[in-house]
Amino acid sequence: MLFYKAWIETRVRFLAGLVAAAVVCIFYLEQHAWLVSMWAADLQNPHGYHMKWMPLGIHEYGWYLWHYLYDNYLQQVWALFAILFAFGGLIRERNGGTVLFSLGLPVSRRRWLFTRLSVALLESIGLSLFAVLVIAVGSAAIHETFSLSQVLLHTALMVAAGVFVIAFGNFCYTLFPGNYLSLILTLTLLGAPYLWLQTYMQHMRYLGRTPWIGYLDFAHTMAGPWQITWTTTPWMALLVAWTLTAFLLMATVAHGDRLDY
Amino acid sequence: MFRKPNPSSGVPIYVQLKEQVRHAIETEALKAGDQLPGIRSLAETLVINPNTVIRVYRELEQEGVLEIRHGIGVFVISRRRSRSRAEEMRDAQHLVHEFVDTLKKQGLAEGEIRRLFEAELAGEIQRR
Amino acid sequence: MAAVIETIELKKNYGNHEAVRGLNLSVNAGSVCAFLGQNGAGKSSTIKMLLGMIHPTSGGGSIFGHRIDEERESLLIRQKVAFVAEDKRLYDYMSVGQIIHFTRSFFPKWNHALETQLLERFELPPERKIRQLSKGMRTKLALLLGFARGCELLILDEPTEGLDPVAIEDVLQIVVSLAAQGTTVFFSSHQIAEVEQVADHVLMIDHGQLVLNASMYEVQEEYRQIQAVFTDPVEERDLRLPGVERVKIEGHIASFVASRNVDSIVEHVRMLRAGNIDVLPISLKEIFLEKVRARS
């Protein structure tokens, strides 16, 4: 029944997320043919842009999917909605006046929290699987074959590393309840370091160096290499992400336990 | 048969209920040997605490008006009285008339007499 | 008689404000105990501490023997207690039927017969969304969700607030009915008439402290208002006796409330050469006003 309640409270957001994911996927699938021809033209033109990845982009559809979706736009849409799914819970009910009813039930605060987080996770997984479906259908529509296993692996990696985002979103919401404020705050707290780290790490990688701070580049972890294999999976980074997630959860629980309603 | 007591009347609810029971017996709405409503049922009907009903029944039993038969119910006392209630009241009225007359002859005003009676009765309730 | 609710030196501070100061109360099994107090006196804070929504600053308590300030035990308490808060808002996206179904799932001893009875009596349409209900109907629904849990203890914070007289009487009748079946009821209220009607025990709280803890019987039997007229003027300190509450002197007339020892107090007053002594019963409302005014 608790799951049912958390679902009802977030299902509109979930549908919005499905729509957003579909839009992103369809857009880039639609653009594929045009972009590929543009790159091919550029490569043939001695005065045009020549980027290292262009041959890959032209010949490997899998790379294309990874670059535009899992390394960029779908990941960002997913992360945004994962945070939104994580918003809510007892703190929100305090503003709505129903928190005393909820807390009067024989349900511990932790159980409320974990139910909420579980539903957020399930919805995030659902969102990512829906994107796979859209990719599958869309790819067939543009007559491209793709590796389902790679797409699924990327989906799995995105979610596995992305749990940090869910925990972080929920933690920020518990500290600063109120939808828009929390969203802006979370996005700022996550977004600023993310962008800085991403730029910094790209520079480092260009120089061939991998400082330890790279483990905190979650966007990079979620994207992974364009071809995931057992050895290329970023296990250490995942471990770091999970450890940090665990700490965040403990902090959320401790804070929640101490609150006076 | 019983009306809901008025909690704001200044008279405690249990006193109101006792009066109602006595009145019912006087007017023969409840005859000797009749069973009174069960504690729970009366409490629910009048929307008062069951302990209040218990107290009323117990006190009336002590005053010889009711009889509590454990496990069966509460009944109006069926022992035949040597005199009816109405006769008792008539005798009491006569006594009161004579007594008030005596006090007046001693020089007490009506208001003073009334206050003495009230204080005495309040003291009665206290002492029990 | 076992104490169902017990607190020991319960304290709650909000910053510098002492909302609850060393509260020691106990509620016996099967009693209908009223908790009276002005707004801000500490009633809701006390109730919230009992149910684990607020953490005591110090002190503690127990319900059914389980500690209120320990997470796991608080959970056990809430399995056996039906709580209806002062704010009776419910999940407005659910329908009447849905929230009943939701709440029911947590209470194996749910009273289905009472649920059906109350749905009918309160005229609550099962398919109607809660956001479409009037405030009065929402209150009735919140109370239904409390009454039907089949719990041995009901804790109600202002149960009849916002209800019309018919509904109030209905609610009181249900309380009486449950009490007759052995349920302990602990409710806070502003409506003294209601309290006098159904409660058998009264707790009064003022500025975070307990100022009265008595059974209705004691209140009716032992509390008296006494007015004495003296031949010579008396001082307040002449009347400082055990059981005497605040004394008011107007020239030759002294009036005060006695909470016990009325006989010995009357004796003492007589010895002070009182001409006339009136000993009268006192209503709960008067006691409440006395207690609260004395401290402000």
**ipTM for the complex?**
0.89
C171 in reach of chain B (CB within 8 A) = no
pLDDT digits (tens, 9 = 90+) for C65-109: 999 999 999 999 999 999 999 999 999 999 999 999 999 999 999
Angle between helices C96-104 and C112-121 (to 10 degrees): 160
CB contact under 8 A, B12 and C220: yes
Structure tokens at C163: 């209800």
A120 vs C239, which has greater pLDDT?
A: A120
What are the residues facing A31 on neighbouring strands?
A: none
Structure tokens at C215: 């059974």
Q: What's the average model confidence in pLDDT over B52-79? A: 89
CB contact under 8 A, B14 and C220: yes
φ and ψ of C191, to 5 deg:
-90, 95
Q: Is A144 exposed, middle or buried (0-12, 13-18, 19+ CB in 10 A)?
A: middle
Task: State yes or no: chains A and C have 3 or more CB pairs below 8 A.
Answer: yes
* Cβ neighbours of A258 in C, within 8 Å: 55
Distances (CA, A) of C244 to C149, C236, C265: 44, 11, 8
Angle between helices C96-104 and C135-147 (to 10 degrees): 20
When CB atoms are compared, the residue of B39, B49, B119 closest to C199 is B49
pLDDT at A68: 86
Question: Using H for helix, E for strand and C for coil, what is the string for chain C?
Answer: CCEEEEEEEEEEEECCEEEEEEECCEEECCCEEEEEECCCCCHHHHHHHHCCCCCCCEEEEEECCEECCCHHHHHHHHHHEEEECCCCCCCCCCEHHHHHHHHHCCCCCCCHHHHHHHHHHCCCCCCCEHHHCCHHHHHHHHHHHHHCCCCCEEEEECCCCCCCHHHHHHHHHHHHHHHHCCCEEEEEECCHHHHHHHCCEEEEEECCEEEEEEEHHHHHHCCEEEEEEECCCCCHHHHCCCCEEEEEEECCEEEEEECCCHHHHHHHHHHCCEEEEEEEECCHHHHHHHHHHHHC
Question: Nearest-CA distance from B47 to chain C in Å?
Answer: 5
Phi/psi region, residue A178 (left: phi>0; alpha: psi -120 to 50; beta: rest), is: left
What distance, in Å, lies between the first and last C-alpha atoms of chain B? 28
Strands C3-14 and C58-63: antiparallel
Cβ atoms of residues C74 and C52 within 8 Å:
yes
0.80 surpassed by pTM: yes
* Cβ neighbours of A105 in C, within 8 Å: 78, 103, 106
Inform me whether the pLDDT recorded for B18 exceeds 90. yes
Structure tokens at A256: 């929640």
B38 in reach of chain C (CB within 8 A) = no
Q: What's the average model confidence in pLDDT over C230-257? A: 83
pLDDT digits (tens, 9 = 90+) for A169-215: 899 888 887 777 777 887 888 878 877 877 788 788 777 777 777 77
pLDDT digits (tens, 9 = 90+) for B83-106: 567 777 888 888 888 888 889 888
Window A:227-246, CB contacts with C under 8 Å = none
pLDDT digits (tens, 9 = 90+) for A231-251: 888 888 889 899 999 999 999
Inform me whether the pLDDT recorded for A53 exceeds 70. yes
CB contact under 8 A, B40 and C173: no
* Cβ neighbours of B126 in C, within 8 Å: 221, 224, 262-263, 279
Nearest to A135 by CA among A123, A120, A152, A121: A152
Question: Nearest-CA distance from A109 to chain C in Å?
Answer: 9
User: Which of helix, strand or coil describes residue B73?
Assistant: strand
* Cβ neighbours of C224 in B, within 8 Å: 122, 126
Structure tokens at B32: 């000797």
What are the residues facing C254 on neighbouring strands?
A: C228, C249
A96 in reach of chain C (CB within 8 A) = yes
Distances (CA, A) of C74 to A100, C43, C226: 14, 19, 46
Least confident of A25-29, C70-74, C202-206, C277-281: C277-281
